[in-house]
Chains A and B, each alone.
Chain A
């Protein structure tokens, strides 16, 4: 890989230990990927915030970076935290955990990072135009950016996204190159997707069947999108989150996504997603037990339309005594939720809204034997990370499972 004299000076530690380690990460990635050079990136999105998932490795790395004088040089945003950074006691978070979690957020802040913790960074200004190069790390956001916005980003590890944020560059390989974005699997969607969670099921089916990072082109999604009658952002969020549970970095959809010019006439592989394929995924997320202990929403973080929909569903209902509802979103939505009364409606029904965190990274292991969710991604991870049985179904059905109508 070509390195300039400046790059080499950074690599020798002449600009401090943090920039040296950042450059070492980028150079290792560049050499591994046979990249020819480093290219500038516009924004970065850093995963590795939750102490639950990042653990001691994350804390040690960040302490070293702060001690080494780390400062970001491009707009940089954070992934979800392991707790609601303010309302953590209500979540039942251990004070020792909370202390380390706060230290992590503060260290990112000292580096100059926007510490609004969200996996839907496109809702807090981390967005771009077709062709923009980015260094994003959260798997659902990477798929969303590449597929729906048409920006170009590899799926960075947390440390490499931080390295790019500090240096302002990334090695030019993978999805930064047009030829690596061409789909190789044609998938005919031959079943109606009736809710956003069904789009997640499609993503989970694909990412467990095609495990090498093959990029799909979905045919028939455009008709389904016309029936939905919106920009299908909510649906695409669920699809992208589920694709990210495997190695699939992005998708194209005939007539729908921004890079139609990359969809070829002929494909190496062809497949069909039908009712049977859908059932093969759903059957894995159907607990024997009828009672649901908690319904979780907001994986990826709920946007305002989803929060409004949840409030509408919960209006006039009450959460069962032995159940709970947790809803996750970014803190930037807090004022709107309070001003519009959405939060009051949710809380009146017995639901809780939490900011900054999400069902996958919060420490909820072992607390809830049966969890219902509308997110195929959350369903996949909660089985191992929360040691729970998981019921995957549309948002409306999840609400039904844990509430009753108030007479």
Chain B
């Protein structure tokens, strides 16, 4: 499956999908030391975002979340790419620092529904390709 959205910042990435259907609060919600999700009510709570293509609708909460995305990169445990339903300034700016592409407003599908945990996701600027792990 393929879709096209807006990509800011631009870039290329490939990784295993981790889908979080709820908005995430990055500051206080992701541990910058190991990438683990801290909010007990969050889907995938306790799992790490390291090396994943992270899919979530949007980020909420403190603007310091941008630095958390960069901390994750410096510590080598950040996501390799991000796909949002509709992105936000916290995520876009954090991703500029971390040099991680962010895709949002995909025309063909809603990424939260269309992408499943474990899918292999490729981002090439605005183009998103989804493959099942068996394919």
Partner of A57, one of B87, B89, B97: B97
| B75 touches A (CB below 8 Å) | yes
A53 touches B27 (CB 8 A): yes
User: Which residues of B have CB within 8 Å of A246?
Assistant: 60-61
User: Which residues of B have CB within 8 Å of A88?
Assistant: none
B67 touches A158 (CB 8 A): yes
Q: Which residues 267-294 of A have a CB within 8 angstroms of B?
A: none
Q: Which residues 22-81 of A have a CB within 8 angstroms of B?
A: 24-25, 28-29, 31-33, 47-48, 50, 53-58, 60-61
Q: Answer whether A57 and B63 are a contact pair too, CB < 8 Å, given A29-B93, A156-B89, A160-B89.
A: no
A385 touches B28 (CB 8 A): yes
A139 touches B63 (CB 8 A): yes
A55 touches B63 (CB 8 A): no
Partner of B64, one of A24, A31, A53: A53
Main SS at interface, chain A: helix
B60 touches A211 (CB 8 A): yes
Bound complex: CA A60 to CA B96 (Å): 14
Partner of B68, one of A29, A57, A160, A247: A57
| B38 touches A (CB below 8 Å) | yes
| B94 touches A (CB below 8 Å) | yes
A29 touches B92 (CB 8 A): yes
Q: Answer whether A247 and B67 are a contact pair too, CB < 8 Å, given A28-B9, A57-B97, A157-B89.
A: no
B67 touches A53 (CB 8 A): yes
Partner of A28, one of B8, B27, B61, B65: B8
User: Which residues of B have CB within 8 Å of A137?
Assistant: 63
| A159 touches B (CB below 8 Å) | yes
Q: Answer whether A57 and B67 are a contact pair too, CB < 8 Å, given A28-B8, A157-B89.
A: yes
Bound complex: CA A351 to CA B127 (Å): 58
Question: Residues 62-75 of chain B: 1 if any A CB is under 8 Å from the residue's CB, otherwise 0?
Answer: 11111111111111
Q: Answer whether A47 and B64 are a contact pair too, CB < 8 Å, given A57-B70, A154-B89, A157-B93.
A: yes
Q: Indicate the size class of the contact surface on chain A.
A: 35 or more
Q: Answer whether A159 and B27 are a contact pair too, CB < 8 Å, given A32-B87, A53-B64, A245-B61.
A: no
| B39 touches A (CB below 8 Å) | yes
Partner of B72, one of A31, A57, A58, A247: A57
B32 touches A57 (CB 8 A): yes
Bound complex: CA A61 to CA B94 (Å): 11
| B4 touches A (CB below 8 Å) | no
B38 touches A157 (CB 8 A): no
| A384 touches B (CB below 8 Å) | yes
Question: Which A residue sits closest to B104, measured CB to CB?
Answer: A32
User: Which residues of B have CB within 8 Å of A50?
Assistant: 64
| A133 touches B (CB below 8 Å) | no
| B55 touches A (CB below 8 Å) | no
Question: Residues 5-26 of chain A: 1 if any B CB is under 8 Å from the residue's CB, otherwise 0?
Answer: 0000000000000000000110
Bound complex: CA A24 to CA B97 (Å): 10
Bound complex: CA A32 to CA B27 (Å): 22
Q: Which residues 52-88 of B have a CB within 8 angstroms of A?
A: 58, 60-75, 87-88
Bound complex: CA A211 to CA B62 (Å): 14
Bound complex: CA A61 to CA B73 (Å): 12
Which residue among A50, A154, A160, A245 has the maximum number of chain B CB atoms within 10 Å of its CB?
A160
| A84 touches B (CB below 8 Å) | no
Which residue among A25, A57, A137, A384 has the maximum number of chain B CB atoms within 10 Å of its CB?
A57
Q: Chain B nearest CB: distance from A235 CB in Å? A: 22
Partner of A60, one of B39, B61, B70: B70
Question: Residues 219-247 of chain A: 1 if any B CB is under 8 Å from the residue's CB, otherwise 0?
Answer: 00000000000000000000000000111
Q: Which residues 88-133 of B have a CB within 8 angstroms of A?
A: 88-90, 92-94, 96-98, 102, 104
Bound complex: CA A361 to CA B134 (Å): 45
User: Which residues of B have CB within 8 Å of A33?
Assistant: 89
Question: Which A residue sits closest to B94, measured CB to CB?
Answer: A157
Can you identify 30 A-B contacts, CB atoms within 8 angstroms?
A: A24-B96, A25-B93, A28-B8, A29-B89, A29-B92, A31-B8, A32-B89, A32-B104, A33-B89, A47-B62, A48-B63, A48-B64, A54-B64, A55-B71, A56-B74, A57-B68, A57-B69, A57-B70, A57-B72, A60-B74, A61-B97, A155-B89, A156-B63, A157-B93, A158-B66, A159-B93, A160-B66, A160-B93, A211-B23, A247-B23
**Contacts A158-B64, A159-B67 known; 12 new A-B pairs at CB < 8 A:** A25-B93, A29-B92, A32-B87, A53-B27, A56-B71, A58-B71, A60-B74, A157-B65, A158-B67, A247-B58, A381-B62, A384-B29
